[in-house]
Amino acid sequence: GLAYNSENYSGFAWTMFLGGRYFFNHDYGALLELGYGVTYINIGIAKKFRT
């Protein structure tokens, strides 16, 4: 495993992501993000809220 000394770490971490969304219709779509951080891939559903 990995060991670290908590006195040397601030609790903040750098992350970078690049992604996009594709909408199937006017309200719903899918999203995909690739990057570096806690996870390497984020996949999800997007919804537009209209007023």
pLDDT more than 90, % of the chain: 57
Ranges of H-type helices in the chain:
none
User: What pTM does this model have?
Assistant: 0.60
- pLDDT tens-digit map of 11-27: 777 889 999 999 999 99
pLDDT value at position 6? 59
pLDDT value at position 34? 96
H/E stretch holding 35 reads: strand 28-36
C-alpha to C-alpha distance for 45 and 26, rounded to whole angstroms: 13
